[in-house]
Structure formats: structure tokens, C-alpha cells
Chain A
């Protein structure tokens, strides 16, 4: 039976590959936005699972769910910012935006629907509250705006740095 630490490294390696794949796909205009964002969502989810396993969480308890990102990714961001000595006002400002970004990234997974209020996801068509059938290929996903969102680029850098830390 593998230890939580080995699971942490395994999740971190896969998160790293997901992140690099997302960053490589983003400039390609031929690839739909939903497919690009799928890799970002998976990178964030596996980073969170790697982090939880590295802190001793039983790997069995993180395998089934996609719903860890919104709650735990801001915690990882905060820990990283504290560890490198960022000023409190800077941490507060970044965290305010990181919480929103993490929540929107978690919603990209089809299993996360916030009680049916947010069925939009990167993989499967869904019917909206008015009965209109929506397809991920046509949908304008909120995390597409990371290029102009407050703290968007810094958020991405922290995700990358946190993954790298767990690889060591």
C-alpha cells in the first residue's frame, strides 16, 4: 500500500503535466476553450489532492470527489504567500480574488453543480433553467478571463509554484 506522501508526489506530477498542457494549449486558436480549461481544472484539482495527501489525508478520501478545489486551493495559495513572506495587505488582496477564481475553476468539473444552480461545465452538454440545451463548445466560461481578472496571472503563478514545491 502506497503512503500518502507517495500519493502526494504522484498527484503533483500529474498536476504538473496538466498545468503544462493547459499553458501549451492556450495560444492555439483551433482548440476549443472548454478543452483548454479542462486541463486547468484538472491541474488545480490534483494540486489540492497532492497537498491534502502531503498533510496526511488518507488518499482514499480524496479520490472520489471533484469538490475540493474551491475550499482548499485558497488555503494553498495563502500558505504559499505566507511562506515566501508576502505582506499581509498583499496576501489579503490576492486571496480575495483567489477565492473567486478557485470557485469558478471548480465549477468547470461536471460533477460540481452547486445544487443544480451551476450546471455549466467543460465536458458535457446541459439544459439551463429555461430549457435551452447548452454545449460546452459554445459557452463563455468565467476562467477564460484570467487574462484580465484581478490577480489572475499571480493566481496562476502561485498554482504553478505550489505544484513545483510538491514535486521536490
Chain B
């Protein structure tokens, strides 16, 4: 497991722990070339029933050193309805990005 994989898991755990509405978090990956770059952000797609519909709106963040995440990150937060539209390809991720592995909620991280 790469360091970025470990950090993605930490970030997902932190979000599951504080967000009452999150049901699923997926890794999003770019091209192999892009993902090989050390400064390529961790990209997460988060399905959150509490968020607002906004289409695909990647938000960029710096490192979260307080939880041991040294990489920058990009979060795409969508409603369950938007996630369904993504799955039916009615909505599209930015060029070259694909939905990858699910980072499931671990027991004990139940939001507020």
C-alpha cells in the first residue's frame, strides 16, 4: 500500500467520523502518469446526503497534517442523486478521472 493510499484512508476515516450525511467515499484516480507524480493530490468522491447539489465541483485543499495527511487533496462531494447521475454517465468527472475503489466506513466512524 503506497503512502498516498494510507493517507487517502486516513482522510476518508476523518470524514466518515465528522460528517453525519456521508454514505460512501471512493478514490478517484487520474492517468497513471498523473498519479505517479508526488504532488498529485489525493482525490476523493464523497456521497453525502447532507450536502447541496452542485454538479461536479472539485474543491482543493492543502495537507491535513493534524491527521497525518501530508499530500494535498481534491474532494468532490455529491448528493446521492448526483452519484446516481454519475453512475448513469449523465454527470461526468473531469477529463481523465475515474471512480476507483470504495473506501468503506470502518466500524466506529459514525459521524456526529
Q: A residues touching B (Cβ–Cβ < 8 Å)?
A: 23-24, 26-27, 29, 33, 36, 80-81, 84, 86, 90, 93-94, 144-151, 153-154, 156-158, 160-161
Q: Is the CB of B72 within 8 A of A27?
A: yes
**Could you tell me the distance in whole angstroms from the C-beta of B105 to the nearest C-beta in chain A?**
16
Chain B residues 59 to 89 lying within 8 A of chain A, measured CB to CB, are: 59-62, 64, 66-67, 72-75, 77
Given known contacts A27-B41, A29-B39, A160-B54, is B60 in contact with A153 (CB within 8 Å)? Answer: no
Q: B residues touching A (Cβ–Cβ < 8 Å)?
A: 11, 14-15, 18-21, 39, 41, 46, 48-54, 57, 59-62, 64, 66-67, 72-75, 77, 112
Q: Which residues of A contact B72 (CB under 8 A)?
A: 26-27, 29
Bound-state CA distance A27–B48 (Å) is: 23
Nearest A-chain residue to B51, judged by Cβ: A154
Q: Which residues of B contact A148 (CB under 8 A)?
A: 11, 14-15, 18, 64, 66-67
Q: Which residues of B contact A86 (CB under 8 A)?
A: 50, 52
Bound-state CA distance A13–B112 (Å) is: 35
Bound-state CA distance A144–B67 (Å) is: 13
Identify which of B14, B41, B50, B67 contacts A154 (C-beta below 8 A).
B50
Q: Is the CB of B61 within 8 A of A146?
A: yes
Q: Which residues of B contact A26 (CB under 8 A)?
A: 60-62, 72
Bound-state CA distance A27–B57 (Å) is: 15
Given known contacts A145-B66, A147-B62, A147-B75, is B50 in contact with A94 (CB within 8 Å)? Answer: yes
Given known contacts A84-B53, A157-B57, is B62 in contact with A93 (CB within 8 Å)? Answer: no
**Could you tell me the distance in whole angstroms from the C-beta of B43 to the nearest C-beta in chain A?**
11
